[in-house]
Amino acid sequence: MNAKPEHYDVIRRPVITEKATMVSDSNAFVFEVDIASTKPMIKEAVEALFGVKVKAVNTTITKGKTKRFRGRPGERKDTKKAYVTLVEGNSIDVSTGL
């Protein structure tokens, strides 16, 4: 069954880092998203959840690091981040949470 994912399944959480706060000055916001989500899915989810107009979506995939867990080698999950640029005049308050 290939059901369409819900908006909360696409967007996991906002990313609050030094770099993310720097890009928020240029009306862009960073979210951790599902690894299988596409740019149109991310755009639709942000517009539906926050009631804003999205100008552009850029994504990046970070490969999981190899780490040791309880003495055995293991690997962290791959993560995908979306840099969402909003149309002028729109804003998101990421401190309130989803």
Express each pLDDT in 29-84 by its tens digit: 999 999 999 999 999 999 998 899 999 999 999 999 999 988 999 999 999 999 99
pLDDT grade for 4, boundaries at 50, 70 and 90: low
What's the chain's length in residues?
Answer: 98
Can you give the pLDDT at residue 42?
94
pLDDT band at residue 8, thresholds of 50, 70 and 90? confident
- In the chain, the domains with their CATH numbers are 7-87 (3.30.70.330)
Does position 95 have pLDDT exceeding 50, yes or no? yes
Q: Helix, strand or coil for residue 75?
A: strand
- pLDDT at residue number 1: 41
Alpha helices in the chain (DSSP H): 7-10, 18-23, 39-50
Backbone angles phi, psi at 5, to 5 degrees: -70, 150
